Amino acid sequence: MAQEIARLVARVLQDGQRLGHLDLEASEMALRAAMHQLGGRVLEQLLNADGGGYRGARIPCGHGHHAEFVDHRRKQVLTVLAPVAVQRAYYHCAPCAGGVVPKDQELDIVGTAFSPGVRRMLGRVGGQEAFAAGRRDLAELAGVRVTTKAVERVAEALGAQVEAVASAERTAALTGKVITLKAVPRVYIAIDGTGVPMVPHETDGRQGKEEAGKAKTREAKLGCVFTQTSVDEQGRPVRDEDSSTYVGAIEPAEAFGRRIYAEAVRRGIPRAAQVIVLGDGAPWIWGIAEEHFPGAIQIVDLYHAREHLADLSKLVYGPGSAASKRWTTARRKELDAGDVERVVAAMGRLRPRGAEVQKAVRRGRGYFETNAKRMRYARFRSQGLFVGSGVVEAACKTVVGFRLKQSGMRWTVRGANAIIALRCADLSGRWEEFWEARSAG
């Protein structure tokens, strides 16, 4: 080993002399590659020091039978250092008609040619960026070379594991097995939905939202839980630092209700003085609020309410017109004051031409009438509460938009949910926890 390092150093020095100067970049890259190779060889020796992990002629297969020893088999495993060959005792279970390799279980390489360290990297980049970009970053930053498909497969498999852990947590929370340790004054639950572009077969038979025809997206439902302990000098609420955690999935409202409820329990609602649900106007959100968070203060995120006003005004007066601006400004003031009745009355005074616009105005009025009690912004503010304005929107962008809605991306529900699970774990600061739980198990 020492000899090899000496040879390598000599070669780098030679290259430098030949060039007349030291090419630092070329040298560091050459040395990194060489160190990886050396490290790989050390690791390989370490992994094969047991001679293959022979456990006797017969071992339990794990399904109630015995598996017979067949032979030792080599497997190529890509590690963060280099590819290594691992010698493993291979057993066969006749009733299961399958192989059993206890050493693979021990090393956490069952059914995969990637080491846990590499899989962790693949999950990391796959959750952060497009799979092809992740592959490039891995090669550039870590000197680990894999295919784009490998990034996708491994990241999605890890996402599925994260979801399995989350599912077990949900069961615990829903059966009252989670003990909340910390009392928090205020817990906010922000909920929203956002469209994820789908491969064609995932939207078969689903009506499109906008134009007539088939839907091209499926709605991912997202929840962000954060806490608030204090207000600033002006009495404005201050979000507790690093207190945001996220959950999300493409799933029916009922399933999502359990998901967000379990997260809220984990975050301390059983001991919270006040629970606030923030959402846009979507009825399914308030359905979840009624079912899982009875007694919570319900607030329509101000950002969404304002958006409704702006959209309507554009439709009635034409985009960018002075009349549109005047109308929006006046309504926004009323809205900020929580005077929803005046907003609704002003809508009632609109006399738009055209059946479509009239319909939109009626819909707008309905939205504000239905949600009036969730829009008492002045009162909410005087209580030092967040009224939103982008909290919910930002969660959607952070979890879904930035990663899943880049141009040209098309997802399966399974793939999208896996990546959403990965991102939620990461953005909630639980990535490390997930890995620790894995190695403990």
Q: Is 296 in the site for Zn ion (CB under 5 A)?
A: no
Comparison of 60 and 352: residue with beta carbon closer to Zn ion: 60
Site size toward Zn ion, by CB under 5 A: 6
Q: Using the rule CB under 5 A, give the single segment among 53-61, 168-176, 219-227, 418-426 that binds Zn ion.
A: 53-61
In Å, how far are 16, 395, 404 from 398, measured between CA atoms? Answer: 47, 5, 10
Sequence-ordered strand ranges (E) for 342-431: none
- Minimum distance from residue 65 beta carbon to Zn ion (Å): 4
Q: Cα(53)–Cα(89) distance, rounded to whole angstroms? A: 6
| CB neighbours of residue 19 within 10 Å | 10
Among 200, 219, 199, CA closest to 209 = 219
Q: Is 399 in the site for Zn ion (CB under 5 A)?
A: no
Q: Cα(303)–Cα(270) distance, rounded to whole angstroms? A: 29
Comparison of 61 and 400: residue with beta carbon closer to Zn ion: 61
User: What are the tokens at 436?
Assistant: 């620790």
Q: Cα(382)–Cα(43) distance, rounded to whole angstroms? A: 62
Among 394, 375, 374, CA closest to 239 = 394
- Minimum distance from residue 219 beta carbon to Zn ion (Å): 43
Q: Using the rule CB under 5 A, give the single segment among 31-39, 88-96, 111-119, 399-407 that binds Zn ion.
A: 88-96
- Minimum distance from residue 60 beta carbon to Zn ion (Å): 8
- Minimum distance from residue 67 beta carbon to Zn ion (Å): 6
Q: Cα(436)–Cα(8) distance, rounded to whole angstroms? A: 37
Chain positions 202 to 231 lying near Zn ion, rule: CB under 5 A, are none
Q: Is 96 in the site for Zn ion (CB under 5 A)?
A: yes
Comparison of 100 and 305: residue with beta carbon closer to Zn ion: 100
Chain positions 4 to 23 lying near Zn ion, rule: CB under 5 A, are none
- Minimum distance from residue 157 beta carbon to Zn ion (Å): 24
- Whether the Cβ atoms of residue 420 and residue 404 lie closer than 8 Å to each other: yes
DSSP 53: -
Q: Is 65 in the site for Zn ion (CB under 5 A)?
A: yes
- Minimum distance from residue 91 beta carbon to Zn ion (Å): 10
State how beta strands 274-279 and 297-300 pair.
Answer: parallel
Q: Is 63 in the site for Zn ion (CB under 5 A)?
A: yes
Comparison of 68 and 137: residue with beta carbon closer to Zn ion: 68
Q: Is 61 in the site for Zn ion (CB under 5 A)?
A: yes
Q: Is 93 in the site for Zn ion (CB under 5 A)?
A: yes
- Whether the Cβ atoms of residue 220 and residue 194 lie closer than 8 Å to each other: yes
The binding site for Zn ion (CB under 5 A) comprises 61, 63, 65, 93, 95-96
